[in-house]
A and B are shown apart, each in its own frame.
Chain A
Amino acid sequence: MTELTKLTISEIRAGLRAKDFTALELTEAYLSEIEKANGKINAYVAVTADKAREMARASDERIAQGEARPLEGVPVGVKDLFATEGVHTQACSHILDGFKPPYESTVTANLWNDGAVMLGKLNMDEFAMGSSNETSYYGPVINPWRADDSDRDLVPGGSSGGSAAAVAAQLCAGATATDTGGSIRQPAAFTATVGIKPTYGRCSRWGIVAFASSLDQAGPITRDVRDAAIMLKSMASVDLKDTTSVDVPVPDYEAALGQSVKGLKIGIPKEYRVDGMPAEIEALWQKGIDWLRDAGAEIVDISLPHTKYALATYYIVAPAEASSNLARYDGVRYGLRVPGKDIIEMYENTRAAGFGREVKRRILIGTYVLSAGYYDAYYVKAQKVRTLIKRDFDLAFEAGVDAILTPATPSAAFGIADETLHNDPVKMYLNDIFTVTVNMAGLPGMSVPAGLDSKGLPLGLQLIGRPFDEETLFRVAHVIEQSAGRFEPKRWW
C-alpha cells in the first residue's frame, strides 16, 4: 500500500488508466500515511477523510466509464488559505476559529472539476505571513529533511510550509499553495520539491484569503516538474469574479517538457550575488549555468540594478495591503469574538487575542506607512521603486533574455525556534531576498531542486520568466531537473 504514495501525479494518471490500482485504494493509502505521520510533521490542520473517500469513489466510477478527467483520482492537499466549501478554512489563524465557508475558491473548484481528491487542509504561516511556518496557530511544521549530522527539527520554509512538507513526506501527490513574497518557492527549495508561482493574474484569487492583493498568487507544489505542469494547467483559469485575473488561454504546460533549450538566452543577474552569500549556493548557481550551457542555451550576464531595494519595498507594500485586507477580522461576521464593553473594545480585544505576533507587527507597520503624514514618504515611494524594479526586468526581456536563473534562497533550511531569527524580524525577512523581486514585478517564478548542501539539505535554483510565459520556465526547469536528479528525504518519522 505504501508503494502507492510513492507515485507522482503522472504515474498515478498512467496507473489508474492501466487499472493497476483504484482511486479509492490510492486515497486510503494516503489517509493511512497521514494518520501515521501527521503527529510528527504537523503538515495537515484538517483531514477530510470521508470527503476524500467519497471523491475517490466518484473518480473510480468515472474511470470505469472511460471519462477520466486530467486529475482524476489524484489526492491533493489544500493550503488552509483556500476557501473549501463546508471545510475548515482559517488561514491557520485563531481569529478565524470555526470558519467554514459556504463557497469554494475558484482554484480548488478547478481541481475538483478535473477530478482531484481532497485529502485535507494544510498548515501554513498565519495569514501567509512568514518564511518558516512557525507563526501558525496550529504550531510549526517539521521539515521531512534533516541534516546528515543532526536530529534537530528544521523548518520547511513558509508560508506554504505544510504544502511543501506534505509533498516531500509523500502525504499527498501534490499540494496547492500561494506566494506573495516567496511562499511557494522558498519552502519548495527547503524541501527538494518543485514550486511555481505563475504570473500575477494567471490563477484566480477569488476565494483565497487575501494577504497582499497586488502580490498574492496561487500555484502548485509537487515532486517533479511534470507534476507541476499538470497541476498548474488545472489550477489556472480566467475568472470574472477576480478583476485582476487575465484572459489569456491556458496552454498545455506539459507539452513544454522535453523541448530543447538550444538558443534560449538565460540571464544571470549580477545583483543576486549578495555579500556573504555561502560558497555552496554560488557553486550550485554555477552548476545550473553549466547544465543549461551544455544543453545549448546561451548564458548572458544581465543587470537588474534595483534588486537590492526589493525587500525594503516589499516590507512597505505588503504590510500596507495586509493592514487593509485584515481589517475585516473584527469579531462581527465570523471567527473569534472577544467581548468588550462596547464595539470598539470588542474589535480591539478580538484582534489582540486573535492575531499572532508577526501578523500584528505587519498590520502595525502597514497602518503606519499608510497613515496621514507618512503615506507619501513610504507607500507612494515604495510603489515608485516597484515600477523601477519591474522596469529592470522589462528591459532585460526586451534585450532578448528568455528566462533568468538565480539561487532560490540564501541558505538551506534552518532550525525551528532559531534564537537569532526570532529576535530579529529583519533577519527572518532576508530569507525572501531572491524571491520578492518576482512578486513585485508580477512575473512567473519557479524553484527547482538542484542539489544538496554539505549537510545533505536541499537547495533550489529559481527561474524567472516573462509574463504568461510559464512554458519557457517548464522547458528550462525540466533540463535542470534531468541534470540534477530527484532528491528524497531519509524517513525519520
Chain B
Amino acid sequence: MSVDTETVKRVAKLARIAIDDEAASRMTGELNAILGFVEQLNEVDVAGVEPMTSVIPMAMRMRADEVTDGNKAADIVANAPAQADNFFMVPKVVE
C-alpha cells in the first residue's frame, strides 16, 4: 500500500501538524519507503492469533477510589505559555 501527497496532507491534518506542499511531497516519498518496508508483514499467517494487548501477562491493577492528591493548580499551570487565574489561556475555541 502506498500514499499520495493528498493522503499525507489529510493525515497531517488528523495529526494537527501544519505541512506545506514541499514538505508534504518529501514526506510522501519517505512514508512510502517505510510503508513499502512494512509490506512484508503480509507474508505472515496470523490465523487464530490474538493481538498482543498485554506485554507481561497480568490484569490491570486497580487502586482504591480515594482522593490522594490535588490542590496543585499552580504547579499544573506553572509551565503554561499563557495562563490566568490558574486557567490555561488559548485562542478562541468557539466562534
Contact = CB atoms under 8 A, between A and B. Distances in A.
A475 interface: no
Interface in B8-26: 8, 11-12, 14-19
Contacts of B14: 367, 371
B17 A363 contact: yes
B80 A351 contact: no
A309 B51 contact: no
B91 A387 contact: no
A332 B90 contact: yes
B67 interface: no
Contacts of A426: 33-34, 37
B14 to A, nearest CB: 5
A399 interface: no
Contact of A348 (B18, B52, B72, B92): B18
A364 interface: yes
A121 to B, nearest CB: 16
Contacts of A342: 91-93
A191 interface: no
B16 A347 contact: yes
A347 B13 CA distance: 10
Interface string B53-91: 101101011010000000010011111111000001011
Contacts of A397: none
Contacts of A257: none
Contacts of B92: 342-343
B37 A315 contact: yes
A349 B46 contact: no
A96 B14 CA distance: 21
Of the candidates B15, B37, B41, the one having the most CB atoms from chain A within 10 angstroms of its own CB is B15
Given A306-B44, A346-B91, A351 B50 contact: no
A414 interface: no
Contact of B15 (A339, A340, A364, A383): A364
Interface residues of B, number: 51
Interface in A341-380: 341-349, 351-352, 355, 360-361, 363-365, 367-368, 371, 374, 377-378, 380
A381 B41 contact: yes
Interface stretch (A7-15, A22-30, A143-151, A238-246): A238-246
A334 interface: yes
Contacts of A315: 34, 37-38
Interface in A449-468: 467
Given A102-B75, A383-B51, 16 more contacts: A99-B79, A309-B41, A315-B34, A315-B37, A316-B38, A332-B81, A332-B88, A333-B76, A343-B92, A352-B19, A355-B17, A360-B17, A380-B51, A381-B41, A390-B52, A424-B33
Interface of A: 98-103, 199-201, 214, 240, 243-244, 246, 306, 308-309, 311-313, 315-316, 323, 327, 330-337, 339-349, 351-352, 355, 360-361, 363-365, 367-368, 371, 374, 377-378, 380-388, 390, 424-426, 429, 442, 467
